């Protein structure tokens, strides 16, 4: 499934960047896949894939520092996104 229409990125490519490339944020996913954010509409979807990868990683390995770090970054991104939506709504 295409998750980023601007860069024509599939969910499979994003998952691969998370698993193989060590990407930990939407920005690092774009960089890992040789592109950059354009319109940004895909960022929430990519963040959800990051969250899912973090959950899977943490469940596979209790106390995994990588999974915990990904979960922390995902939580920070969610706060930033929420704040950005609040500013945009003003
Ligand atoms: S849909 Fe991904 S940058 Fe536009």
Best probe residue, ligand 1, of 27, 41, 44 (max atoms within 8 Å of C-beta): 41
Q: Are 28 and 74 in contact (CB under 8 A)?
A: no
Distance, in Å, from the CA atom of 79 to the CA atom of 25, rounded to the nearest integer, reads: 13
Q: What is the pTM of this model?
A: 0.68
Q: How many domains does the chain have?
A: 1
Question: Can you give the residue range of the structural domain that contains 72?
Answer: 2-89
DSSP H stretches of helix in the chain = 11-19, 26-32, 43-60, 65-89
Nearest CA to ligand 1 atom 1: 4
Mean pLDDT by 10 residues, the chain (90 residues): 96 92 85 93 92 79 68 72 71
Q: Which residues line ligand 1 (CB under 6 A)?
A: 4-7, 37-42
């Amino acid at each position: 499934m295409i998750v980023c229409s601007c860069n024509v990125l599939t969910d499979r490519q994003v998952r691969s960047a998370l698993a193989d490339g060590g990407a930990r944020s939407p920005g690092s996913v774009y960089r890992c896949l040789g592109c950059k954010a354009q319109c940004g509409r895909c960022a929430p979807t990519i963040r959800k894939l990051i969250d899912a990868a973090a959950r899977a990683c943490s469940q596979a390995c209790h106390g995994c520092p990588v999974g915990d770090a990904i979960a922390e970054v995902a939580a920070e991104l969610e706060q930033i996104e929420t704040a950005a939506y609040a500013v945009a709504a003003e």
